[in-house]
Amino acid sequence: MKPTAIVTGGSRGIGRAIATELVKTHRVIATWRGRKDAADSLREETGCEIFQCEIASREDRAALLAFARQRFEKLDLLVNNAGMAPRERRDLLEASEESFDELMATNLKGPHFLTQQAARWMAASGDGRIAFVTSISSYTASVNRGEYCISKAGLSMSVALYAQRLAEAGIKVFEIRPGIIRTDMIAKVEKAYDEKIAAGLLPQRRMGEGIDVAKAVRAIADGLLDYSTGQILNVDGGFSLRSL
Ligand SMILES: NC(=O)c1ccc[n+]([C@@H]2O[C@H](COP(=O)([O-])OP(=O)(O)OC[C@H]3O[C@@H](n4cnc5c(N)ncnc54)[C@H](OP(=O)(O)O)[C@@H]3O)[C@@H](O)[C@H]2O)c1
């Protein structure tokens, strides 16, 4: 029997690349929130199952795991990928509490508590892997989307906490920190980023693609990093390197 995986936000962008990679070896449930068309096309292309889940909703998270338990005897891999940028980029001195709350619920609370529930299930089999997709924004201050940075910084701590807590249960936990990846999320600023990259922002002078992140998930899924729980995989073209 093939191993099993859940990929949140698997219908588009990075999550879609991850789901497409994982179906080669895993039975995959990919979640979506509002774009059913994208989820349907993923199912047609890959044969994976799809499930609608607002990650910020406790009920939806419970329904997702109930759905997965109906299909899978055990869960081998959870990829916490679903996330969003602020609807509008606003300076730190103008940003709203509403946007802050939305980003915390989607990018931090949702994956944190989905992991809590999934980990209980995995713990029963004494095995499992969990990958969190955070961001270079975990440690890079962008004052025009501070709430995004705070949500991702919090999610990095969620990784450290779960890696500690779940090691004894045989569950390995990883953080993947993408840099600038070509998806709908950055469409509005894609041209500006391309120009910055051409000017030397990244040691590797190209924007990342979803498949670059999917390859990191592949290494985790295949167990190649099993003695490295809690580690951070920077998938950022060298953005995190310092130079003088
Ligand atoms: N692109 C980048 O440069 C970049 C860099 C670093 C980190 N990341 C992170 O990578 C992850 C994926 O980003 P992406 O660029 O692939 O974004 P994307 O193209 O906008 O896709 C986002 C995916 O997440 C789902 N989603 C969004 N909000 C959700 C919610 N509240 N509940 C459930 N699902 C939700 C979307 O579903 P629907 O389409 O159905 O709404 C979609 O499947 C995010 O966590 C993001 O923060 C991205």
For the Cβ of 34 lying below 6 angstroms from any atom of ligand 1, the answer is yes
Query: Whats the size of the chain, residue-wise?
Result: 244
> What is the total count of domains within the chain?
1
- 203 lies in which domain range? 4-235
In a domain, 80, yes or no: yes
The single-letter code of the amino acid at 145 is R
For the chain, what percent of residues have pLDDT higher than 90? 99
CA 175 to ligand 1 centroid distance, Å: 16
The CATH number given to whatever domain includes residue 168 is 3.40.50.720
CA 239 to chain centre: 19
CA 244 to ligand 1 centroid distance, Å: 34
- What pTM did the predictor assign? 0.98
For the Cβ of 169 lying below 6 angstroms from any atom of ligand 1, the answer is no
How does pLDDT run across 180-206, given as a tens digit for each residue?
999 999 999 999 999 999 999 999 999
Catalytic sites, residue numbers? 148
In a domain, 160, yes or no: yes
In a domain, 180, yes or no: yes
In a domain, 73, yes or no: yes
Q: Label residue 114 by pLDDT band (50, 70, 90).
A: very high
Using CA of residue 206, residue 174, residue 159, residue 27, what is the dihedral sign?
positive
In a domain, 111, yes or no: yes
For the Cβ of 19 lying below 6 angstroms from any atom of ligand 1, the answer is no
CA 133 to ligand 1 centroid distance, Å: 10
For the Cβ of 156 lying below 6 angstroms from any atom of ligand 1, the answer is no
